[in-house]
Structure 1
Amino acid sequence: MVTPVAFPDPPLLNSAGVHEPWALRTIVELDCGDGLVGLGETFGDAPHLDRVRRAAAALVGTDPFDLAAVRRAVAGDHTPRADGQDPVARVFAPFEVACLDVQARAAGQPVHALLGGKVRDRVAFCAYLFYKWAAHPGGDPDGFGAALDPDGLVAQARLLVDRHGFGSIKLKGGVFEPAAEVEAIQALRAAFPDHPLRLDPNCAWTTGTSAKVAAATAELLEYLEDPTPGIEGMAEVARAARMPLATNMCVVRTGHLRPAFTQGAVGVVLADHHYWGGLRACADLAAVCRAWGVGVSMHSNSHLGISLAAMAQLGAALPELTYAADTHTPWQDGVDVVTEPLSIVDGAVTVPDTPGLGVTLDRDRLGRLHEQYERCGIRVRDDTAYMRTVDPSFRKLRPRW
């Protein structure tokens, strides 16, 4: 069963624009007909949803233990994406997670046991800060408040750290002039002297601007993420930067690994099972990173509790996970499709040892979020178009500065 859902999303700013009022996801249920049901979660944009539905129809009768057959059934007529990501991997991922959930439930084991076993009991996550408005245009203020300057970001960080105990902090940049974002990092360092800090402008800067920001934040940042577009651009910046450069934008498929690593473009790869092709693909990615001496973290987009559980199971089994993972979980403010969402306490998720992913679908919650999907009218996430309803002159530029 494939169910599209929508849940409230705050007005979070980024280099592409601003998040719309509703985030979209797709929930996958793999029913084996014998009481075993596996869960997966993926993106919710209409073109992707259509591919997932076609894949689901092609999978009827497939053995959930035969992942090679599952991938062949999913492959269908997919064509390469313009951004270099593998469309088969993106569609296969939620089904692979659901199959692993089924396999683990059948074996009476947690998913991490199928990934090689648990190397840690708790998976650390970082506080993910955003510049944001107090409310969506015409809407009521949300519980997070505005954050449009260093003071606002420090207040936001205090809120998230107090609620969840995060031990590291990441700022989504690329919104304001680079000097303003350096000032924000300086304010966060003053307020949180012991927290590792990260800055991610989503390729908003030229190589020259990136090098200047890297110099200005050399003693402040744990890593600088995707400051400029492309492997060659990242390599140029990396030669000047004193901190590692991280990416989830210039390394998004296997073919990017060799050129990125041989050119020294990145020191940290942010794995994301949603577009690398599932949990085992990310474990393979982490092993390659280890061989090259490259660090590993995990990327996040707006997600629900099934994805958080999958990330926790993966993180439990990855010895290469050298940095706290990203998560948008605090921004969903308790909204979910599972009965007991995993909690982030003292900056980490305790990994479930119960069979499968460790979460159970709440059908009432799923129904409500599906009704919201039907009513909200959003079918494709478009941060730029939404920003243009507020600022008609806005354009997505990478790089902008």
Structure 2
Amino acid sequence: MTHRRDLTITDVRLTPVLISDPPLLNTQGVHQPFTPRLIIEVTTETGITGVGETYGDARYLEPARQLADALPGCEVSDLNNLVPLAGLVCAPPQETSDAVDAGGLRGVQTADKVLLSVVSGFEVACLDALGKALGLPVHALLGGKVRDTVDYSAYLFYRWAEHPDGQGLKDDWGAALDPEGVVAQARRFVREYGFTSFKLKGGVFPPDEEIAAVRALAAAFPGMPLRLDPNGAWSVETSLRVADELGDVLEYLEDPASTTARMAEVAAGTDLPLATNMCVTTFEEIPEAFAQEAVQVVLSDHHYWGGLRNTRELAALCRTFGVGVSMHSNTHLGISLAAMTHVAATVPNLHHACDSHYPWQTEDVITRRHEFRGGRLAVSDAPGLGVELDRTALEALHRRWLDDDGGLRDRDDAKAMRRAEPGWVSPSVPRW
């Protein structure tokens, strides 16, 4: 078989990093002062390099190394071979469980899900390299954009002013622990980034307190779309009560209860749309959820689903079954945000503004940070993703990872919370 030199992979470089993260609260605990990510570089015979990004926790690193070792000699265009190759060469991750992921709040964690998250970073890197080789943006490789800008939502968090013991990098956002603090945070997001919709991470305080915060947002920003996400912390009864009390102001309620069965019970008792990034995160989980009408909006995440092309396949299934689609976010850097924006630009049925943690991240590995204007990101038409690695920043963040004693190389929000509350144990669900 003849290989194109500009498409043939000769080298794969993996660089785990630790990036700063503010003390953002969720039902499992609080974000650590630094969180791990993995930067993937795929280089072809002619020196073209594509970049990707995914989770950097230990359970992702070994399969990533095994896949990286197997890729030289393959072509960056051979994307359909990534999942079979990963299944062939990657040993099952050792640290998986049937419990909810205490860091990503993704839902049940399995070996297959870890492998898909690994593959996602390699697929993005290959698409970036392929786009550069062909002189085409990634969105063109996915079928072409249907919009020139992508809407994003302000991601609001209850948070502390700083990490326990003064750890991590400091910022000037201050604490947000009540409705007034949440509204002040939202005003700053509007002022600095122009966002026109809001999502509040809930499951932190008793439901009545979070209802009050959403009501305060509705009063401060009348008519703007609002979402609330307690990450499955509520019982069916509590979920229905909140849905009843906030049904007139919420765009949707995200994962109020854990498991598809509980979500189906909630959905049967309310007209308020339910969204998820916890009970539907793989294709295998779709039939049960759609058959039971448990969710009305699926929040895709290309890290979960195995890449950008699978994200488009998910969107097509949602369109077929009349289910809305948007995008979930976790703590990510500019490479992942670029990838999100490219695939979002190609999805006709993108019904809601996408989530993004990016404004909370003060560090990056690209030379030019993305800029939100009017709550939107422009879709790049440059070859590939349209981003360039900042080698100095990458090395500094990798040095932080190397210097860590291992305590921060795996995200664990419950462990981080125990620095402030030594007896803290992640609550079982339902919490309320």
TM-score (norm 2): 0.90
Deviation, structure 1 residue 371: 1.2
1:281 matches 2:315:
no
Name the amino acid aligned to 1:389.
R
Across the aligned residues of Structure 1 and Structure 2, the Cα RMSD in angstroms comes to 1.3
Deviations 1:311-337 (A, max 9, x none): 01001111111100000000012x110
Instruction: Report the Cα offset of residue 84 of structure 1.
Output: 5.0
Matched, 1:348 2:372: no
Q: Which stretch of the first structure deviates more once superposed, 100-109 or 79-88?
A: 79-88
Name the counterpart of 1:200.
229
- Decide whether the 8 Å contact of 2:67 with 2:90 is kept in 1: no
The Cα of 1:141 is off from its aligned counterpart by: 4.9
Once the 2 structures are TM-superposed, how far is the Cα of residue 121 of structure 1 from its aligned partner?
0.2
Per the TM alignment, residue 44 of structure 1 is displaced from its structure 2 partner at its CA by 1.0
Matched residue, 2:7: none
> In the aligned structure 2, how far is the partner of 1:362 from the partner of 1:287?
35
Secondary structure of the structure 2 residue equivalent to 1:138: helix
1:339 maps onto 2:367 in alignment: yes
Residue range with higher mean Cα deviation, 370-379 or 344-353 = 370-379
Note if contact 2:66-2:90 (Cα within 8 Å) is conserved in structure 1. no
Distance of 2:234 and 2:200 partners within structure 1: 15
User: Which residue pairs with 1:399 in the alignment?
Assistant: 430
Whether 1:225 and 2:237 are equivalent positions in the alignment is no
Deviations 1:233-269 (A, max 9, x none): 0010011122100000000111111110111100000
* C-alpha distance in structure 2 between counterparts of 1:148 and 1:309, whole Å: 31
* Structure 1 partner of 2:73: 61
Code of the residue aligned with 2:80 in structure 1: it is: A
Query: Does the alignment pair 1:371 with 2:399?
Result: yes
Q: 1:285-324 residue pairs with structure 2 within 5 A?
A: 285-324=314-353
The aligned runs of 1:98-137 (5 Å cut-off) are 98-137=125-164
> CA separation in 1, counterparts of 2:90 and 2:393?
33
Residue in structure 1 matched with residue 389 of structure 2 by the alignment? 361
Distance in 2 (alpha carbons) for counterparts of 1:222 and 1:29: 39
- Counterpart of 1:392 in 2: which secondary structure? coil
Are 1:78 and 1:88, in contact at CA under 8 Å, matched by a contact in 2?
no
The answer to whether the 8 Å contact 1:84/1:252 transfers is no
Say yes or no: does 1:70 pair with 2:97.
no
Indicate the residue corresponding to 1:26 in structure 2: 38
Q: Aligned to 2:335, what secondary structure does the other structure show?
A: helix
Instruction: Check conservation: 1:84, 1:253, Cα contact below 8 A.
Output: no
Aligned-partner Cα distance in 2 for 1:210–1:129: 20
Corresponding residue of 2:105: none
DSSP 3-state at the match of 2:145: coil
Q: In 2, Cα distance between the equivalents of 1:361 and 1:55?
A: 22
* SS in structure 1 at match of 2:191: helix
Q: Does 1:254 align with 2:283?
A: yes
* Counterpart for residue 150 of structure 1: 179
* 8 A Cα contact 1:245 1:266, kept in partner: yes
Question: What TM-score does the superposition give when structure 1 sets the normalisation length?
Answer: 0.97
In 2: Cα distance, 1:4 partner to 1:93 partner: 16
For residues 191 and 40 of structure 1, what CA distance do their matches in structure 2 show?
A: 39
Q: Please, which runs of 5 or more residues in structure 1 have no aligned partner?
A: none
Q: Give SS of 2:212's match.
A: helix
Q: Provide the residue aligned with 1:243 in structure 2.
A: 272
Letter in 1 for 2:349: E
**1:36 equivalent in alignment to 2:67:** no
* Equivalenced residues, count: 400
